[in-house]
Amino acid sequence: MNYLVNEQHSGERIDKFLVGVMENVSRTDVQKLIAAGEVKVGGAQAPKNFRVETGMVVVVDKIPEKEASTLEPENIPLDIVYEDADIVVLNKPRNLVVHPGNGVQNGTLAAGLLYHFKENLSAVNGPLRPGIVHRLDKDTPGLMVVAKNDAAHRHLAHQLETRTLHRTYNALVWGHVRDLEGTIDAPIGRNPKNRLKMAVVKDGKPSRTHYVAKKFFAFATLLELQLESGRTHQIRVHSRYMGHPVVGDPLYDGRDGCLNRVSPLMKDIAAKVLEIAPAQLLQAVKIELIHPTTGKKMKFKVPLEKPFEQVLKLLKKECPADAPTFDEDEGFHDFDADIRFDEGFEEEFDEESLDKFDECVFPELKERKTRAQRHAEKAATAAHRRAKAAERKRIKQEKAARRRGIAPEDFVEPGYEPTIDPDLL
């Protein structure tokens, strides 16, 4: 098949161009064709990052064959938040796989969608993923958007690509993050030591996660996160990468091993948290998108699932904490809103010492005082302070006595008792 590039598509990547002009293909299908050498421009195989120009003819030697569907509809209950002729927004429960794969064939969200909506789903991602625009991990509950037709699917996929479709997550992580808000920018790929896991690797795909710290507890932090890219296990991998695994995450070191970082007084509470948490305490709580047909901005939000809410209530009751601040020398310490930088502070320099340095004559180093000397000086300073306070108090009481008509010679100092003649007793 030959495809002529017009001005509208000039400058586009070749895979994006072919997705727009070919029917019933996904970008993954096109990228597989390019990798196999089936896409040519000017008789030469086109690289994956090739950009087309007006007047070029792109030749596709082989049209991808869609895999035969083995997906059978299943009556799986769906929590539908919103539905119209183009999209469905649903709240996926925990422990539900989105589509078949990795040995899972039955009991998927895709099978449930096929049962409830039958043929009214997009086919862009193939028969095994009807209507699936993006996915969530099996043990990550939350909001997902499903496309009912191919046009809506491509529009939503474009929003994901251009980052106009926003997904917001809540996650409870171990420890306290260093910054109250920030961005984790680290490439993600397959873990070279365990192919079932992802990891931050040098040659991985670019991945960015933005986070804001919302609540603090003695040994954990509630984060709000937004994805700029959508890699597999992205939030879980990035959280582990910055040293704060998601609480309860069985795959990325978020369970019993993290109890060692909790103080002994809080260890029982932390163990209780892991008993409540079925898996990672991570949930897609909000999604913002532009409707494919009306162009209207839409926002959807769901409350936290019951286990997540239970854990937060437990932590709020047993071990709340203020926002910490980080000091490079002292580490984390409690946040004190009353502490401010002193204004007008100027560092003073000893001009004589500077002159000596200019002459390359170094001043003598002071001998460091012993601990006993420091304690003695501290005690002397405290005694002097107490003596001054007692003197001020005596003067004040003497003045008060004169106002009451007591003669100075009859005035008795506070805390002083005159000697009494024993013969008078």
Q: Just list the catalytic residues.
A: 137
Q: How many CB atoms lie within 10 A of CB 112?
A: 19
Q: How far from chain centre, in Å, is Cα 256? A: 21
- Beta strand 194-200 with 324-327: parallel, antiparallel or unpaired? unpaired
Ranges of H-type helices in 250-300:
267-276
Q: 3-state SS of 180-210?
A: CEEEEECCEEEECCEEEEEEECCCCECCEEE
146 Cβ neighbours under 8 A, 6+ residues apart: 87, 88, 89, 90, 113, 121, 131, 132, 133
Helix, strand, coil: what percent of the chain each, to 5? 30, 25, 45
Distance CA 273, CA 174 (A): 11
Q: How far is residue 133 from each of residues 175, 180, 188, measured CA to CA in Å?
A: 34, 32, 21
- At 34, is the secondary structure helix, strand, or coil? helix
- Whether 85 and 148 have beta carbons less than 8 Å apart is answered as yes
